[in-house]
């Protein structure tokens, strides 16, 4: 079997044993004589899978306040719209940490005042600001816990007196986080937790009660809670892959084990960057570095192009930076193995030896 070292930023690799398990039961799910994508979402089998997936999420994320868990199609981008449509009554604050924060804020502007509570623009989004300017009457503060494009991550979360909504799309379950501090968390599952096509949202009941009711039923979180994510046909295959990933994470030792694994991988690459005497230039300031997306530049766009091409030739996929910012990016989500990170670190050292 041919498998490359895969560092794509999302969709991104899945663990091989998980893919194999999915393959093995694709045509016959647990003796039903049909695959999971062929059966009714109202069937006992799918209902059991859904319930188990929610229970696993609650367990692995350490939810203690009986938060509601729902699955909604439309990915992260739909969540930008839904969070504002449901919860923005007057104004909402956005932590300006990069492209995804802008998209969230711009979607919210259709529903009321959406303003930047701070901004990391002054240093090209290389850090996470730690002060928040919250205006009176603010309904919530939106943050992006990991900035997939710039490669920065929150290591301390805001202490503010408004509900905090966290876009955890690119670091959910990659480390231990106190999830009970957020009024709502949502995440596209396609980076750390499964196949693209659904987002998950975790909402505190008291926050849900503040949601508007003059919103089309399909765009109300309340509808998804009341109908247990099956108001319409849910993304059954995505939820199934999520279930498999959650079992895999649990078997690996849960959020703490993911954190150790992810820290180890990121450290390997940052050590190469820091030891390269400026050949590799890390984008994020060290105190704000992401363990999920290691972003860096070389001396010129030409050299970067060559680096990415040589990486590809050597079996490393997905190391080009985001189309909006260029440079290089190595994404190290849960499924990326420590061996893959080691191979990448060795390749970077070797490339520097020959071109430096
Ligand atoms: C942090 C973050 N939020 C939101 C999104 C948007 O997600 P989607 O492509 O599922 O709409 C992304 C996509 O990469 C992301 O990285």
Strand 328-331 versus strand 293-297 pairing type:
antiparallel
Q: Which atom of ligand 1 is nearest to the CA of 103?
A: 4
Ligand 1 pocket mutation pick from 8, 9, 75, 76 by most atoms within 8 angstroms of CB: 76
pLDDT at 191: 98
Confidence of residue 356 (pLDDT cuts 50, 70, 90): confident
Q: For the segment 86-131, what is each residue's pLDDT rounded down to a tens digit? A: 999 999 999 999 999 999 999 999 999 999 999 999 999 999 999 9
Ligand 1 centroid vs 160 CA: distance in angstroms?
25
Please, what is the Cα angle at 289 between 283 and 290, to 5 degrees? Answer: 105
pLDDT at 325: 86
CA 351, distance to chain mean position in Å, is 30
- Is the distance from CB of 84 to CB of 114 less than 8 angstroms? yes
Q: For the segment 228-275, what is each residue's pLDDT rounded down to a tens digit? A: 999 999 999 999 999 999 999 999 999 999 999 999 999 999 999 999
Catalytic residues: 100, 167, 191
289 three-class SS: strand
Ligand 1 centroid vs 56 CA: distance in angstroms?
23
Residue 277 has pLDDT above 90, yes or no: yes
The set of protein residues with a Cβ atom below 6 angstroms from ligand 1 is 10, 75-77, 100, 144, 148, 167, 169-170, 188
Of 140, 94, 150, 142, nearest to 117 (Cα)?
Answer: 94
pLDDT at 47: 98
pLDDT at 59: 98
Residue 342 has pLDDT above 90, yes or no: yes
Ligand 1 centroid vs 80 CA: distance in angstroms?
9
- What is the C-alpha separation between 339 and 287, in angstroms, rounded? 25
Ligand 1 centroid vs 154 CA: distance in angstroms?
16
Of 161, 180, 185, nearest to 76 (Cα)?
Answer: 185
Q: For the segment 201-214, what is each residue's pLDDT rounded down to a tens digit? A: 999 999 999 999 99
> Bridge partners of 72?
199
Residue 6 has pLDDT above 90, yes or no: yes
Of 44, 27, 175, 167, nearest to 97 (Cα)?
Answer: 167
Sequence-ordered list of residues with C-beta below 8 angstroms from that of 222, at least 6 positions apart, any chain:
208, 211, 213
Of 228, 223, 55, 86, nearest to 163 (Cα)?
Answer: 86
Residue nearest to atom 5 of ligand 1 (CA): 76
pLDDT at 293: 98
pLDDT at 321: 94
Which overall architecture, per CATH, does domain 16-251 show? 3-Layer(aba) Sandwich (3.40)
Which overall architecture, per CATH, does domain 255-355 show? Alpha-Beta Complex (3.90)
Number of H helices, E strands in the chain: 10, 14
Residue nearest to atom 8 of ligand 1 (CA): 76
Ligand 1 pocket mutation pick from 99, 170, 325 by most atoms within 8 angstroms of CB: 170
Residue ranges per structural domain of the chain: 16-251, 255-355
**Mean predicted lDDT score pLDDT of the chain:** 97
Residue 52 has pLDDT above 80, yes or no: yes
pLDDT at 323: 86
Confidence of residue 65 (pLDDT cuts 50, 70, 90): confident
pLDDT at 1: 85
Confidence of residue 35 (pLDDT cuts 50, 70, 90): very high
**Backbone angle region of 33, left / alpha / beta, with phi > 0 → left and psi within -120 to 50 → alpha:** left
Mean pLDDT of 148-172: 98
């Amino acid at each position: 079997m041919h498998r490359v070292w895969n560092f794509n930023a999302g969709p991104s690799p899945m663990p091989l044993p998980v893919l194999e398990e999915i393959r093995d039961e694709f045509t016959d799910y647990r003796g039903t004589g049909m695959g999971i994508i062929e059966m009714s979402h109202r069937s006992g089998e799918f209902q059991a899978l859904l319930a188990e997936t929610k229970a696993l999420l609650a367990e692995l994320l350490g939810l203690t306040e009986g938060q509601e868990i729902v699955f909604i199609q439309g990915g992260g981008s739909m969540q930008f719209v839904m969070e504002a449509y449901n919860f923005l009554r007057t104004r909402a604050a956005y932590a300006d940490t990069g492209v995804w924060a802008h998209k969230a804020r711009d979607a919210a502007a259709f529903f009321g005042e959406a303003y930047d509570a701070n901004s990391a623009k002054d240093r090209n989004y290389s850090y996470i600001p730690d002060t928040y300017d919250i205006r009176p009457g603010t309904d919530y503060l939106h943050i992006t816990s990991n900035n997939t494009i710039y490669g920065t991550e929150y290591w301390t979360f805001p202490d503010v007196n408004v509900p905090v909504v966290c876009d955890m799309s690119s670091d959910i379950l990659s480390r231990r986080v106190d999830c009970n501090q957020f009024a709502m968390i949502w995440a596209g599952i396609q980076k750390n937790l499964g196949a693209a096509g659904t987002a998950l949202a975790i909402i505190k009941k008291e926050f849900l009660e503040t949601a508007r009711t003059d919103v089309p039923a399909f765009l109300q979180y309340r509808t998804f809670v009341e109908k247990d994510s099956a108001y319409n046909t849910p993304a059954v295959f995505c939820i199934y892959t999520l279930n498999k990933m959650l079992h895999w994470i649990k078997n690996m030792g849960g959020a703490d084990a993911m954190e150790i694994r992810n820290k180890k991988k990121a450290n390997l690459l940052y050590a190469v960057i820091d030891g390269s005497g400026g050949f590799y230039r890390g984008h994020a300031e060290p105190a704000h570095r992401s363990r999920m997306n290691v972003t860096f530049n070389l001396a010129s766009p030409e050299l970067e192009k060559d680096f990415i091409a040589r990486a590809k030739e050597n079996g490393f996929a997905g190391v080009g930076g985001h189309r909006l910012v260029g440079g290089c990016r190595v994404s190290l989500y849960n499924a990326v193995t420590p061996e893959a990170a080691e191979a990448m670190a060795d390749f970077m050292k070797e490339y520097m030896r020959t071109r430096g």
